[in-house]
Amino acid sequence: MKTIDELLTEGVAGKRVLVRADLNVPLDGTTITDDGRIRAVLPTVKALAEAGARVVVASHLGRPKGAPDPAFSLAPAAARLGELLGAEVAFATDTVGESAVATVAGLADGQVAVIENLRFNAGETSKDDADRGDFADRLAALADVYVGDGFGAVHRKHASVFDLPARLPHYAGYLIATEVGVLRKLTDDVKRPYVVALGGAKVSDKLAVIDQLLGKADRLLIGGGMAYTFLKAKGYEIGGSLLQEDQIPVVQEYLERAEKNGVELVLPVDTLVSGEFPDMKAKAATHPTTVATDAIPADQQGLDIGPETRKLYASKLADAATVFWNGPMGVFEHPDYAEGTKAVAQALLDSPGFTVVGGGDSAAAVRTLGFDEQAFGHISTGGGASLEYLEGKTLPGLAALED
Protein backbone atom coordinates (compact mmCIF):
# COMPACT_ATOMS: atom_id res chain seq x y z
CA MET A 1 0.00 0.00 0.00
CA LYS A 2 1.10 3.56 -0.65
CA THR A 3 1.96 5.60 2.43
CA ILE A 4 1.55 9.21 3.41
CA ASP A 5 5.24 9.81 2.78
CA GLU A 6 4.66 9.07 -0.91
CA LEU A 7 1.70 11.45 -0.90
CA LEU A 8 3.76 14.22 0.68
CA THR A 9 6.48 13.68 -1.92
CA GLU A 10 3.89 14.05 -4.67
CA GLY A 11 2.64 17.27 -3.06
CA VAL A 12 -0.60 18.10 -1.27
CA ALA A 13 -0.63 21.91 -1.13
CA GLY A 14 -4.13 23.15 -1.86
CA LYS A 15 -5.60 19.64 -2.03
CA ARG A 16 -8.52 18.54 0.13
CA VAL A 17 -7.32 15.45 2.01
CA LEU A 18 -9.89 13.41 3.91
CA VAL A 19 -8.27 11.58 6.83
CA ARG A 20 -10.33 8.68 8.13
CA ALA A 21 -9.25 8.81 11.76
CA ASP A 22 -10.41 6.99 14.87
CA LEU A 23 -11.58 9.65 17.30
CA ASN A 24 -13.79 7.17 19.14
CA VAL A 25 -12.76 8.43 22.57
CA PRO A 26 -14.50 7.68 25.88
CA LEU A 27 -16.67 10.53 27.13
CA ASP A 28 -18.09 11.48 30.49
CA GLY A 29 -20.80 13.78 29.23
CA THR A 30 -18.78 16.12 27.02
CA THR A 31 -15.49 15.49 28.85
CA ILE A 32 -12.94 13.23 27.16
CA THR A 33 -11.53 10.79 29.71
CA ASP A 34 -8.79 9.35 27.46
CA ASP A 35 -7.49 11.26 24.43
CA GLY A 36 -5.05 8.57 23.30
CA ARG A 37 -6.74 7.97 19.96
CA ILE A 38 -6.73 11.67 19.13
CA ARG A 39 -3.03 11.93 19.91
CA ALA A 40 -2.38 8.85 17.77
CA VAL A 41 -3.55 10.58 14.57
CA LEU A 42 -1.69 13.86 15.28
CA PRO A 43 1.45 13.00 13.26
CA THR A 44 -0.61 12.41 10.11
CA VAL A 45 -2.80 15.49 10.52
CA LYS A 46 0.18 17.72 11.38
CA ALA A 47 2.25 16.52 8.43
CA LEU A 48 -0.56 17.14 5.97
CA ALA A 49 -1.43 20.56 7.37
CA GLU A 50 2.20 21.67 7.43
CA ALA A 51 2.49 20.60 3.78
CA GLY A 52 -0.40 22.90 2.87
CA ALA A 53 -3.23 20.39 2.58
CA ARG A 54 -6.80 21.29 3.47
CA VAL A 55 -7.38 18.50 5.97
CA VAL A 56 -10.84 17.03 6.54
CA VAL A 57 -10.91 14.63 9.49
CA ALA A 58 -13.71 12.06 9.58
CA SER A 59 -14.49 9.52 12.29
CA HIS A 60 -17.17 7.63 14.15
CA LEU A 61 -17.86 7.80 17.88
CA GLY A 62 -19.90 5.23 19.76
CA ARG A 63 -22.88 3.45 18.27
CA PRO A 64 -25.61 5.92 17.33
CA LYS A 65 -28.40 4.32 15.33
CA GLY A 66 -27.80 5.98 11.96
CA ALA A 67 -29.22 9.35 13.03
CA PRO A 68 -27.88 12.42 14.88
CA ASP A 69 -27.56 11.96 18.65
CA PRO A 70 -25.97 14.77 20.71
CA ALA A 71 -24.54 12.22 23.15
CA PHE A 72 -22.23 10.96 20.38
CA SER A 73 -21.19 14.26 18.84
CA LEU A 74 -17.57 14.62 17.75
CA ALA A 75 -17.53 18.26 18.90
CA PRO A 76 -15.46 17.51 22.06
CA ALA A 77 -12.97 15.50 19.99
CA ALA A 78 -12.67 18.34 17.46
CA ALA A 79 -12.00 20.82 20.24
CA ARG A 80 -9.33 18.55 21.77
CA LEU A 81 -7.70 18.03 18.37
CA GLY A 82 -7.43 21.81 18.05
CA GLU A 83 -5.82 22.06 21.48
CA LEU A 84 -3.25 19.41 20.61
CA LEU A 85 -2.51 20.98 17.22
CA GLY A 86 -2.31 24.45 18.72
CA ALA A 87 -4.54 25.73 15.94
CA GLU A 88 -8.23 26.31 15.39
CA VAL A 89 -10.10 23.31 14.01
CA ALA A 90 -13.34 23.99 12.17
CA PHE A 91 -16.30 21.74 12.97
CA ALA A 92 -19.10 20.74 10.63
CA THR A 93 -22.38 19.89 12.35
CA ASP A 94 -23.28 17.23 9.79
CA THR A 95 -21.43 14.61 7.73
CA VAL A 96 -22.14 15.41 4.08
CA GLY A 97 -24.79 18.11 4.29
CA GLU A 98 -24.73 21.89 4.02
CA SER A 99 -22.50 22.42 7.05
CA ALA A 100 -19.89 19.90 5.86
CA VAL A 101 -19.82 21.30 2.33
CA ALA A 102 -19.52 24.90 3.58
CA THR A 103 -16.93 24.05 6.24
CA VAL A 104 -14.67 22.24 3.78
CA ALA A 105 -15.11 24.98 1.18
CA GLY A 106 -14.02 27.53 3.77
CA LEU A 107 -10.69 25.86 4.51
CA ALA A 108 -7.49 27.58 3.49
CA ASP A 109 -4.25 25.73 2.81
CA GLY A 110 -2.91 24.20 6.03
CA GLN A 111 -6.21 24.36 7.89
CA VAL A 112 -8.07 21.46 9.51
CA ALA A 113 -11.75 20.62 9.88
CA VAL A 114 -13.64 17.78 11.55
CA ILE A 115 -16.99 16.64 10.19
CA GLU A 116 -19.68 15.25 12.47
CA ASN A 117 -19.92 11.58 13.51
CA LEU A 118 -20.04 9.40 10.39
CA ARG A 119 -22.46 7.01 12.06
CA PHE A 120 -25.09 9.75 12.19
CA ASN A 121 -25.66 8.65 8.58
CA ALA A 122 -27.13 5.14 8.19
CA GLY A 123 -25.11 4.62 5.01
CA GLU A 124 -21.87 4.40 6.97
CA THR A 125 -22.62 1.03 8.57
CA SER A 126 -25.22 -0.33 6.13
CA LYS A 127 -24.87 -3.94 5.03
CA ASP A 128 -26.30 -2.92 1.64
CA ASP A 129 -23.50 -2.17 -0.84
CA ALA A 130 -25.57 0.45 -2.67
CA ASP A 131 -26.42 2.37 0.51
CA ARG A 132 -22.80 2.41 1.61
CA GLY A 133 -21.75 3.39 -1.91
CA ASP A 134 -24.13 6.35 -1.99
CA PHE A 135 -22.73 7.66 1.27
CA ALA A 136 -19.16 7.06 0.08
CA ASP A 137 -19.93 9.06 -3.10
CA ARG A 138 -21.05 12.02 -1.00
CA LEU A 139 -17.98 11.81 1.21
CA ALA A 140 -15.73 11.58 -1.85
CA ALA A 141 -17.18 14.86 -3.10
CA LEU A 142 -15.60 16.57 -0.08
CA ALA A 143 -12.04 15.53 -0.96
CA ASP A 144 -9.38 15.04 -3.60
CA VAL A 145 -7.35 12.42 -1.70
CA TYR A 146 -8.08 9.79 0.97
CA VAL A 147 -5.74 8.90 3.84
CA GLY A 148 -6.70 5.91 5.98
CA ASP A 149 -5.46 6.31 9.55
CA GLY A 150 -8.27 4.92 11.71
CA PHE A 151 -6.74 1.58 12.65
CA GLY A 152 -9.42 0.91 15.25
CA ALA A 153 -12.02 0.68 12.45
CA VAL A 154 -10.15 -1.21 9.70
CA HIS A 155 -11.87 -4.49 10.59
CA ARG A 156 -15.24 -2.92 9.70
CA LYS A 157 -16.71 -3.00 6.20
CA HIS A 158 -18.04 0.54 6.52
CA ALA A 159 -18.44 3.21 3.84
CA SER A 160 -15.64 5.49 5.04
CA VAL A 161 -13.29 2.56 5.65
CA PHE A 162 -13.94 0.20 2.73
CA ASP A 163 -15.92 1.97 -0.02
CA LEU A 164 -14.46 5.48 0.06
CA PRO A 165 -10.83 4.55 -0.75
CA ALA A 166 -11.98 3.04 -4.06
CA ARG A 167 -13.30 6.45 -5.09
CA LEU A 168 -10.19 8.53 -4.42
CA PRO A 169 -6.40 8.23 -4.63
CA HIS A 170 -5.64 6.50 -1.33
CA TYR A 171 -2.75 6.23 1.10
CA ALA A 172 -2.05 4.79 4.54
CA GLY A 173 -1.39 7.29 7.31
CA TYR A 174 1.45 7.04 9.80
CA LEU A 175 -0.64 5.27 12.44
CA ILE A 176 -1.85 2.49 10.16
CA ALA A 177 1.63 2.00 8.70
CA THR A 178 3.02 1.66 12.23
CA GLU A 179 0.27 -0.69 13.41
CA VAL A 180 0.67 -3.01 10.42
CA GLY A 181 4.45 -3.05 10.84
CA VAL A 182 4.09 -4.04 14.49
CA LEU A 183 1.53 -6.77 13.80
CA ARG A 184 3.79 -8.30 11.17
CA LYS A 185 6.39 -8.72 13.91
CA LEU A 186 3.81 -10.82 15.76
CA THR A 187 2.93 -13.00 12.78
CA ASP A 188 5.64 -13.19 10.11
CA ASP A 189 9.04 -13.06 11.80
CA VAL A 190 8.49 -13.65 15.50
CA LYS A 191 11.42 -13.62 17.92
CA ARG A 192 11.11 -16.28 20.60
CA PRO A 193 10.11 -16.99 23.28
CA TYR A 194 6.78 -15.55 22.13
CA VAL A 195 4.44 -15.03 25.09
CA VAL A 196 0.81 -13.92 24.82
CA ALA A 197 -1.23 -12.70 27.80
CA LEU A 198 -4.99 -12.69 27.24
CA GLY A 199 -7.65 -11.37 29.58
CA GLY A 200 -10.98 -9.63 29.43
CA ALA A 201 -14.47 -10.74 30.25
CA LYS A 202 -15.54 -13.24 27.59
CA VAL A 203 -13.59 -16.23 26.35
CA SER A 204 -15.78 -16.23 23.21
CA ASP A 205 -14.17 -12.92 22.17
CA LYS A 206 -10.75 -14.58 22.12
CA LEU A 207 -11.48 -18.09 20.79
CA ALA A 208 -10.38 -17.42 17.21
CA VAL A 209 -7.12 -15.78 18.23
CA ILE A 210 -6.37 -18.58 20.74
CA ASP A 211 -6.98 -21.07 17.94
CA GLN A 212 -4.29 -19.34 15.85
CA LEU A 213 -1.86 -18.82 18.72
CA LEU A 214 -1.87 -22.49 19.68
CA GLY A 215 0.24 -22.98 16.58
CA LYS A 216 2.45 -19.91 17.00
CA ALA A 217 2.98 -18.85 20.62
CA ASP A 218 5.30 -20.53 23.09
CA ARG A 219 3.19 -19.57 26.12
CA LEU A 220 -0.37 -18.38 26.67
CA LEU A 221 -1.21 -16.69 29.97
CA ILE A 222 -4.95 -16.55 30.63
CA GLY A 223 -6.56 -14.10 33.07
CA GLY A 224 -9.62 -11.91 33.49
CA GLY A 225 -13.18 -13.17 33.47
CA MET A 226 -12.40 -15.54 30.62
CA ALA A 227 -10.08 -17.56 32.88
CA TYR A 228 -13.00 -18.98 34.85
CA THR A 229 -14.40 -20.82 31.83
CA PHE A 230 -10.96 -22.47 31.49
CA LEU A 231 -10.95 -23.35 35.19
CA LYS A 232 -14.47 -24.77 34.95
CA ALA A 233 -13.34 -26.82 31.96
CA LYS A 234 -10.71 -28.38 34.21
CA GLY A 235 -13.43 -29.35 36.68
CA TYR A 236 -12.88 -26.60 39.27
CA GLU A 237 -15.61 -24.98 41.36
CA ILE A 238 -15.76 -21.31 40.29
CA GLY A 239 -18.67 -20.10 42.43
CA GLY A 240 -20.45 -17.11 40.92
CA SER A 241 -17.52 -16.17 38.66
CA LEU A 242 -18.14 -15.22 35.06
CA LEU A 243 -18.79 -18.34 32.99
CA GLN A 244 -19.59 -19.07 29.36
CA GLU A 245 -20.79 -22.62 29.83
CA ASP A 246 -21.45 -23.19 26.12
CA GLN A 247 -17.75 -22.62 25.42
CA ILE A 248 -16.48 -25.34 27.77
CA PRO A 249 -16.16 -28.04 25.07
CA VAL A 250 -14.09 -25.70 22.87
CA VAL A 251 -11.91 -24.68 25.80
CA GLN A 252 -11.32 -28.32 26.73
CA GLU A 253 -10.21 -29.02 23.15
CA TYR A 254 -7.81 -26.05 23.33
CA LEU A 255 -6.33 -27.31 26.59
CA GLU A 256 -5.69 -30.69 24.98
CA ARG A 257 -4.24 -29.13 21.83
CA ALA A 258 -1.93 -26.86 23.81
CA GLU A 259 -0.46 -29.89 25.57
CA LYS A 260 -0.12 -31.78 22.28
CA ASN A 261 1.56 -28.80 20.53
CA GLY A 262 3.93 -28.08 23.40
CA VAL A 263 2.37 -24.69 24.07
CA GLU A 264 2.48 -23.75 27.73
CA LEU A 265 -1.06 -22.62 28.60
CA VAL A 266 -0.91 -21.03 32.04
CA LEU A 267 -3.99 -20.46 34.22
CA PRO A 268 -4.32 -18.56 37.50
CA VAL A 269 -3.32 -20.44 40.64
CA ASP A 270 -5.09 -18.03 42.99
CA THR A 271 -7.75 -15.37 42.70
CA LEU A 272 -9.31 -12.45 44.57
CA VAL A 273 -12.94 -13.20 45.40
CA SER A 274 -15.87 -11.26 46.77
CA GLY A 275 -19.52 -11.95 47.48
CA GLU A 276 -20.66 -9.26 45.08
CA PHE A 277 -19.46 -7.22 42.14
CA PRO A 278 -17.97 -3.89 43.28
CA ASP A 279 -19.74 -0.56 42.91
CA MET A 280 -17.74 1.02 40.10
CA LYS A 281 -18.89 4.58 40.87
CA ALA A 282 -18.37 4.64 44.62
CA LYS A 283 -15.05 2.74 44.45
CA ALA A 284 -15.64 1.86 48.11
CA ALA A 285 -13.40 -0.77 49.70
CA THR A 286 -14.72 -4.33 49.27
CA HIS A 287 -12.15 -6.31 51.31
CA PRO A 288 -11.69 -9.22 48.89
CA THR A 289 -10.32 -12.60 49.98
CA THR A 290 -7.52 -14.48 48.23
CA VAL A 291 -8.20 -18.16 47.57
CA ALA A 292 -6.68 -20.91 45.44
CA THR A 293 -8.40 -21.19 42.07
CA ASP A 294 -9.46 -24.76 42.86
CA ALA A 295 -11.12 -23.60 46.08
CA ILE A 296 -13.42 -20.70 45.14
CA PRO A 297 -16.40 -20.72 47.54
CA ALA A 298 -19.78 -21.34 45.92
CA ASP A 299 -21.11 -17.96 47.13
CA GLN A 300 -18.09 -15.94 45.89
CA GLN A 301 -16.92 -14.70 42.49
CA GLY A 302 -13.40 -14.18 41.17
CA LEU A 303 -12.57 -10.60 40.23
CA ASP A 304 -8.77 -10.51 39.78
CA ILE A 305 -5.77 -12.80 39.68
CA GLY A 306 -4.14 -13.30 43.07
CA PRO A 307 -0.61 -12.47 44.30
CA GLU A 308 0.88 -15.89 43.48
CA THR A 309 -0.51 -15.71 39.95
CA ARG A 310 0.97 -12.24 39.53
CA LYS A 311 4.40 -13.62 40.44
CA LEU A 312 3.89 -16.64 38.19
CA TYR A 313 2.88 -14.54 35.17
CA ALA A 314 5.75 -12.12 35.73
CA SER A 315 8.17 -15.08 35.71
CA LYS A 316 6.64 -16.38 32.46
CA LEU A 317 7.13 -12.97 30.84
CA ALA A 318 10.66 -12.37 32.18
CA ASP A 319 12.56 -14.07 29.34
CA ALA A 320 10.16 -13.24 26.50
CA ALA A 321 11.60 -11.88 23.27
CA THR A 322 8.12 -10.97 22.00
CA VAL A 323 5.02 -10.21 24.09
CA PHE A 324 1.44 -9.47 23.05
CA TRP A 325 -1.05 -8.50 25.76
CA ASN A 326 -4.76 -8.04 25.19
CA GLY A 327 -7.30 -7.81 27.99
CA PRO A 328 -7.10 -6.89 31.69
CA MET A 329 -6.52 -9.51 34.36
CA GLY A 330 -9.39 -8.32 36.54
CA VAL A 331 -11.83 -5.48 37.20
CA PHE A 332 -8.97 -2.96 36.99
CA GLU A 333 -11.33 0.04 37.15
CA HIS A 334 -11.81 -0.65 40.87
CA PRO A 335 -8.69 -0.20 43.05
CA ASP A 336 -9.29 -3.45 44.94
CA TYR A 337 -8.99 -5.45 41.70
CA ALA A 338 -6.34 -3.54 39.76
CA GLU A 339 -3.20 -5.26 41.04
CA GLY A 340 -3.31 -8.18 38.59
CA THR A 341 -3.47 -5.89 35.57
CA LYS A 342 -0.78 -3.66 37.09
CA ALA A 343 1.47 -6.68 37.57
CA VAL A 344 1.16 -7.78 33.94
CA ALA A 345 1.78 -4.23 32.69
CA GLN A 346 4.86 -3.95 34.91
CA ALA A 347 6.09 -7.34 33.71
CA LEU A 348 5.89 -6.07 30.13
CA LEU A 349 7.96 -3.05 31.12
CA ASP A 350 10.52 -5.32 32.80
CA SER A 351 10.67 -7.69 29.84
CA PRO A 352 13.75 -7.38 27.62
CA GLY A 353 11.69 -8.20 24.53
CA PHE A 354 9.44 -6.35 22.10
CA THR A 355 6.19 -5.63 23.94
CA VAL A 356 2.82 -4.87 22.34
CA VAL A 357 -0.29 -3.77 24.22
CA GLY A 358 -3.22 -4.80 22.05
CA GLY A 359 -5.51 -1.81 22.35
CA GLY A 360 -8.99 -1.68 23.89
CA ASP A 361 -9.22 -2.10 27.64
CA SER A 362 -5.52 -2.99 27.88
CA ALA A 363 -4.50 0.38 26.46
CA ALA A 364 -7.03 2.11 28.70
CA ALA A 365 -5.63 0.26 31.71
CA VAL A 366 -2.08 1.38 30.93
CA ARG A 367 -3.21 5.00 30.97
CA THR A 368 -5.65 4.67 33.88
CA LEU A 369 -3.09 2.97 36.10
CA GLY A 370 -0.46 5.63 35.46
CA PHE A 371 2.13 3.81 33.35
CA ASP A 372 4.40 5.63 30.91
CA GLU A 373 3.01 4.79 27.46
CA GLN A 374 6.37 5.47 25.82
CA ALA A 375 8.01 2.70 27.86
CA PHE A 376 6.13 -0.02 25.96
CA GLY A 377 7.23 -1.22 22.56
CA HIS A 378 3.85 -0.34 21.06
CA ILE A 379 0.34 0.41 22.29
CA SER A 380 -2.24 -0.37 19.63
CA THR A 381 -5.24 1.86 19.04
CA GLY A 382 -7.41 -1.04 17.87
CA GLY A 383 -8.13 -3.98 20.15
CA GLY A 384 -10.62 -5.68 17.83
CA ALA A 385 -8.58 -4.92 14.72
CA SER A 386 -5.40 -6.28 16.33
CA LEU A 387 -7.09 -9.52 17.32
CA GLU A 388 -8.64 -10.05 13.89
CA TYR A 389 -5.26 -9.45 12.24
CA LEU A 390 -3.68 -12.07 14.52
CA GLU A 391 -6.55 -14.42 13.69
CA GLY A 392 -5.41 -14.24 10.06
CA LYS A 393 -8.51 -12.45 8.81
CA THR A 394 -8.51 -10.03 5.89
CA LEU A 395 -9.33 -6.60 7.30
CA PRO A 396 -11.56 -4.61 4.90
CA GLY A 397 -9.94 -1.27 5.67
CA LEU A 398 -6.44 -2.56 4.97
CA ALA A 399 -7.50 -4.41 1.84
CA ALA A 400 -9.06 -1.18 0.54
CA LEU A 401 -5.72 0.64 0.89
CA GLU A 402 -3.87 -1.94 -1.19
CA ASP A 403 -3.32 -1.14 -4.87
**Is 240 annotated as a binding-site member?**
no
The 10 Å CB-count burial string (b at 16+, else e) for 355-371 is bbbbbbbbbbbbebbeb
**Is 37 annotated as a binding-site member?**
yes
Between vectors from CA 54 to CA 88 and to CA 120, what angle results, nearest 5°? 75
**Is 378 annotated as a binding-site member?**
no
**Is 216 annotated as a binding-site member?**
no
Question: Pick the catalytic residue: 185, 202, 234, 393?
Answer: 202
User: Tell me, what amino acid is at 101?
Assistant: V
**Is 211 annotated as a binding-site member?**
no
**Is 119 annotated as a binding-site member?**
yes
57 near 23, Cβ under 8 Å?
yes
Would you say the C-alpha torsion 34, 94, 152, 106 has a positive or negative sign? negative
Does residue 360 have an active-site annotation? yes
Between vectors from CA 245 to CA 240 and to CA 248, what angle results, nearest 5°? 120
| CA-closest candidate to residue 344, choices 358, 152, 283, 334 | 358
Residue 372 CB burial class (10 angstroms; 0-12, 13-18, ≥19): exposed
What three-state secondary structure class fits 66?
Answer: coil
Question: Pick the catalytic residue: 16, 20, 37, 232?
Answer: 37
The 10 Å CB-count burial string (b at 16+, else e) for 30-57 is eebeebbbbebbeebbbbbbebbbbbbb
358 near 151, Cβ under 8 Å?
no
Pairing of strands 219-222, 194-198: parallel
116 near 95, Cβ under 8 Å?
yes
185 near 362, Cβ under 8 Å?
no
**Is 302 annotated as a binding-site member?**
yes
**Is 359 annotated as a binding-site member?**
yes
Residue 292 bridge partners (DSSP): 270
**Is 132 annotated as a binding-site member?**
no
**Is 167 annotated as a binding-site member?**
no
Does residue 384 have an active-site annotation? yes
**Is 23 annotated as a binding-site member?**
yes
Does residue 316 have an active-site annotation? no
Question: Pick the catalytic residue: 360, 382, 383, 397?
Answer: 360
**Is 63 annotated as a binding-site member?**
yes
Q: CA–CA separation, 83 vs 60, rounded Å? A: 20
Distance of CA 298 to the CA centre of its chain: 35
**Is 175 annotated as a binding-site member?**
no
Residues 6+ apart with CB under 8 A from 184: none
327 phi-psi bin (left φ>0, alpha ψ -120 to 50, beta other): left
**Is 61 annotated as a binding-site member?**
yes
113 near 55, Cβ under 8 Å?
yes
Residues annotated as binding site for substrate? 22-24, 37, 60-63, 119, 156
Residues annotated as binding site? 22-24, 37, 60-63, 119, 156, 206, 302, 333, 359-362
Query: Catalytic residues, which ones?
Result: 37, 202, 360, 384
Residues annotated as binding site for ATP? 206, 302, 333, 359-362
